[in-house]
Amino acid sequence: MKNTEAFLLFEKGRFTDALKASVIAINNKESAINETPYEQCKLVLATWMNFTGRKREAYEEVIGLMRLGLDSTEIRDTLLLIMGARSDARDIPFIFGLGTGRSGSTSLTTALSSIPNSYFSHEHPSIIPWKNGKAIVEWHLLRLRF
């Protein structure tokens, strides 16, 4: 069942209220997450946070969607926007580090993130399915270039 109240609030630009209505409907099992504007609200709010200088919060909002198992072109494009996707990024070197649990990878990411005009991430959650995962693989390769 589509959550009409949440969509009406979203259409009126009342994104926080639409998000709250979506969460209530999801928690009460009245609507599935994809039957509400939950994803759209989170993306609008993340974009607003990004443009108001709250990049880390914006990034966490989008990653939160991915951790829920949600995947769409809009989610991936918003994450690239927040990361500061650049067309000239092909010539910029990148560091790719791997570590086991409790190896210091979080500390390394934090230290590297202090480098000006750089971007470092840790444990991106976009899971690649066995079937029809080509678009997600291509997105991850694109993401690594930024």
Q: Which amino acid appears at position 56 of this protein?
A: R
pLDDT in tens, 63-105: 999 989 898 989 988 988 888 765 555 566 666 777 787 888 8
Let me know: does 93 contact 60? Beta carbons within 8 Å. no
**Radius of gyration over every alpha carbon of the chain, rounded to an integer in angstroms:** 17
CA distance 146 to 64: 20
pLDDT in tens, 12-66: 999 999 999 999 999 999 999 999 999 999 999 999 999 998 888 998 999 999 9
Domain ranges of the chain: 37-145
| pLDDT for residue 93 | 65
| pLDDT for residue 89 | 55
